[in-house]
Amino acid sequence: MSQPDDLPYRPCAGMMIANPQGQLFVGLRIDTKAEAWQLPQGGIDDGEEAAAAALRELGEETGIAPRHVTLIAEAPGEYFYDLPPELIGRMWKGKWRGQRMRWFLYRFLGQDSDIDIATAHQEFRAWRWADPDEVIALAVPFKRDIYAAVFRELGPHLRPAD
């Protein structure tokens, strides 16, 4: 088995979805009994642009159609996180040490009824709108630093709709 430091990072797109009140979509992961809330995120396929992956993953994870969001901002550069050692062999069949992420902030234009987490490859068992200051605390510990960094960059764009 490879050493964690020898493994590459999985290319990934992350999405902050803000409702008109400035709250963010968070989902409770279905694959753990832990209270593992997170922002939507998913892998970028080979040859796929990060922005296209973000919209594809958004639909796959939340059922939100592209017509129900508008892009507010994209964080510059990539953000990295490492999985805890005990998860490296269990997640992604041991192929990745963590993720390198591109982040996007979208305004949700739809109604709550336009959200359907019971997708073909369901990742969340529950969802809710959370105030921005709750999101980092709700996240699993190994994602908190990356969330904080993304909030520093995209937070200034996060405000209730006019």
Instruction: Write out pLDDT tens, residues 95-139.
Output: 777 889 999 999 999 999 999 999 998 999 999 999 988 999 999
Residue 100 and residue 107: Cα distance in Å, rounded? 23
Statement: residue 1 has pLDDT above 50: no
Q: What is the pLDDT of residue 88?
A: 66
Task: Give the rounded distance of the alpha carbon of 16 from its chain centre.
Answer: 7
Neighbours of 127 (CB within 10 A): 20
Q: What six digits make up the tokens of 93?
A: 């069949």
The tens digit of pLDDT for each residue in 55-101 reads: 999 999 999 999 999 999 999 999 998 887 776 666 666 677 788 99
Q: What is the pLDDT of residue 158?
A: 84
Length of the chain: 162
Averaged pLDDT for residues 12-40: 92
Q: What is the pLDDT of residue 21?
A: 92
Helix (H) or strand (E) holding 149: helix 141-154
Q: What is the pLDDT of residue 98?
A: 84
Task: Give the rounded distance of the alpha carbon of 4 from its chain centre.
Answer: 23
pTM summary value: 0.89
Answer with the residue of higher pLDDT: 50 or 162: 50
Q: What is the pLDDT of residue 97?
A: 77
Q: What is the pLDDT of residue 85?
A: 72
Q: What is the pLDDT of residue 162?
A: 62
Residue 117 and residue 115: Cα distance in Å, rounded? 6
Averaged pLDDT for residues 27-56: 92
Averaged pLDDT for residues 36-45: 93
